[in-house]
Structure 1
Amino acid sequence: MVKTAVIEAPGGPEQLKIVDREVGDPGPGEVRIRHKAIGLNFIDIYQRTGLYPLQMPHALGMEAAGVIEAVGEGVTHLKAGDRAAYAAAPPGAYTEARVMGAAQVCPLPDAIPFDVAAAMMLKGLTTQYLFHRTTPLSAGDTVLFHAAAGGVGLIACQWARSEGIRLIGTAGSPEKCALAEEHGADLCINYRDEDWVARVREATGGAGVEAVMDGVGKDTFDGSLDCLKPLGMMMSFGNASGPVPPLNIAVLGQKGSLKVTRPTLFTHIADHATCQQMARQMFDKVESGALTLRIDQRFALDDIADAHRALEARKTTGSTVIEL
């Protein structure tokens, strides 16, 4: 029996309950993994509140790291005793151990600690597809990244710096802006005190940016379109402020033949070989020192509701992990 955090109905953090569940043996194509650390992400909140509906009751959590206890038939890239980490669907990472599909579980290099791996799998793989699999970006390009001091944001700042891409960020306080700039943002704008659209235009000499990476959603979408140069790409990959309202597609033509995409990580990592290649690139950046993970909040599994409250109130910086 293992301790697991589940929800039985959508709602607030109080819906998270700790229960004991039995863990069986892995079947074909599956592994059993004993978790050492679990990552916390905004998608967990979307699922808890019902924005992303789940069949109830359901465990939450999309990423974790630990040790493989057993492998099922047909699993060749992992064996019992291996260190491993993953970001994968369906949810179920808020637990001490689980049986799950092996395709998106990745061998973890010895040099990367479990807490670092748990903090970076979903956020780091998201950053990888934003920079490499969504629209062509190269050294010298400029991107706008919202919530630049958050978990994905601090990874994105470093990722951009490692590839010669100029990143302009937004954040909600001078302290968060300073943090983003310390991690590689060329400029970070306090959206509470400044007209961030005007500042982006000013910072780009009126030209605008090649791409916007926006995990905030409703509050930033319209302004983000005004920050793009003609033919620019709007990547709307999250809804921290709420879902984006319906879009009149003619606006894209009026603003310069803009492009808009709503990507999800799980489309990009659905293919086993692609997932493993994306993870290797991310691990290489960590091992080279180009990417470091800032873990500013740590909680016990019993305190998972408090972790959700902190993230939802935007009181966190960097990454948050659940330690076991």
Structure 2
Amino acid sequence: MRVVNIAHPGGAEVMEYLDRPDPEIGVGQVLVGVTAAGVNFMDIGVRQGNFWREIPYPKTLGVEGAGRVLALGAGVQGFALGQRVAWVYAPGSYADKVVIPAASLVPLPDGIDDRTAAALMMQGLTASHFATDFYPVQTGDIALVHAAAGGLGLLLTQIIKLRGGTVIGRVSSSDKVAAAKEAGADHVIVDRDGGFAEEAIRVSGGEGVHVVYDGSGPTTFQGSLNALRTSGTLAWFGPVLGAPAPIDIMSLPKSIKIGYPSFAHHIRTPELLLSRSTQLFDWVLKGQLQVRIGREYRLEDAAQAHADMESRASTGKLLLIP
């Protein structure tokens, strides 16, 4: 099998495209032939040495993808050879084959192709958690979405609109405005330096927004707090870009609330994984949720995919195709 490994932490240059023996299948596991793997900021964090510290080197990167069942381990039920499946978290997904617990797989309906599924799972389930679980958007709510032209931002914007909310999208350059608007953003702010709060307050009628979804790192944290209205909520995520400074909780203004949402809490059981994924697939099949694939790379070009993501120049979801 072919994999993308790292032998030590570092920049994109530490990623190696290698031959490795095929993995062995254990009880309750499934061997899947990977047809598409998603690229996520989590993968960059693993490469830099910030995550998976308990896993020894060398490590195969990647967690998300879609493919076909090649073999079934003992005790596996509900899946068949050749069946199309997808997953949101299976370490080692930057490969042409991966062994995954059956409980971590979902079957793909005929109308969802493999590339769409691989582009949807991580960011779609994350966006679903943010807008339906962590802060259930209600009709009339105004949300500020950072990185609104990225893979997550595009999906989050659409789900907020499905729930009756208004979206103020923030993008880093003017060439990303069209993508954010196509996803349904009602207003788009172009800003790279964190000076967006005043405009967000103005657009929201002077009161500030109900919720901010901020995965842009420490530089936007204070602005996100400033953009909130009384009793507003900040959903802060994206640890790869660094944490904000320590907070004096008694200094927080306007009775605001701050939380750190994790998609894993949205799908904490196999039943929830299946139901939440089915909802995403249903939205796509009905034309209510559009998945934008920004660029596809060969598996051996994974380092370039990381470099493009880190440059913040990419729009939409990045995929690796073994």
TM-score (norm 1): 0.94
Q: What per-residue deviation string (whole Å, max 9, x for no partner) do you get for residues 76-127 of structure 1? A: 33222211111114x2100001112121211111111111111111010100
**How many angstroms does 1:153 deviate by?**
0.7
Q: How does 1:163-312 map to 2 (within 5 A)?
A: 163-192=163-192, 195-239=195-239, 241-252=241-252, 255-312=253-310
Q: Which amino acid aligns with 2:248?
A: N
Moved more, 10-19 or 132-141: 132-141
Evaluate the alpha carbon distance shift between residue 306 and residue 105 of structure 1 in structure 2; reply closer, same or farther with a 3 A threshold: same
1:28 is displaced (CA, Å) by 2.1
Per-residue deviation, 1:8: 1.1
Once residues 29 and 10 of structure 1 are traced to their aligned partners in structure 2, the CA distance between those partners, rounded to angstroms, is: 31
Q: Residue deviations 1:26-66, cap 9 Å, x none?
A: 32221111011111111111111122243321111110100
Residue of structure 1 in register with 2:157 after alignment = 157
CA distance in 1 between counterparts of 2:52 and 2:251 reads: 30
Please tell me whether the aligned partners of residues 137 and 164 of structure 2 are also in contact (alpha carbons under 8 angstroms). Answer: no
Q: Is residue 49 of structure 1 aligned with residue 38 of structure 2?
A: no
* Residue-by-residue CA offset, 1:237-273 (whole Å, 9 max, x unaligned): 2135422222222222xx1121111122223323111
The AA in structure 1 aligned to 2:80 is: K
* C-alpha distance in structure 2 between counterparts of 1:284 and 1:226, whole Å: 36
Taking a change above 3 Å as real, the CA distance of residues 7 and 137 of structure 1, as seen in their structure-2 partners, is same
- Native 8 Å contact 2:29 2:76 kept in 1: yes
Residues 195 and 223, structure 2, Cα contact 8 Å, conserved in 1: no
Q: Residues of 1 paired with 2:135 and 2:95: CA distance?
A: 36
Q: Compared with structure 1, are the counterparts of its residues 111 and 210 closer, same or farther at alpha carbon in structure 2 (3 Å cutoff)? A: same
CA contact (8 A) 2:137 2:163 kept: no
* Matched residues, number: 320
- Number of the residue aligned with 2:108: 108
The amino acid of 1:192's aligned partner reads: R
Distance change (3 Å), C-alpha of 1:77 and 1:228 = farther
Partner of 2:118: 118
Runs of 4+ in 1 over 3 A off after TM superposition: 192-195
When the two chains are superposed, the root-mean-square deviation of aligned CA atoms in Å is 1.6
Q: Provide the secondary structure at the position in 2 that maps to 1:321.
A: strand
What secondary structure sits across from 2:86 in the alignment?
strand
Within 2, Cα distance between the matches of 1:278 and 1:259?
26
The TM-score normalised by the length of structure 2 is 0.95
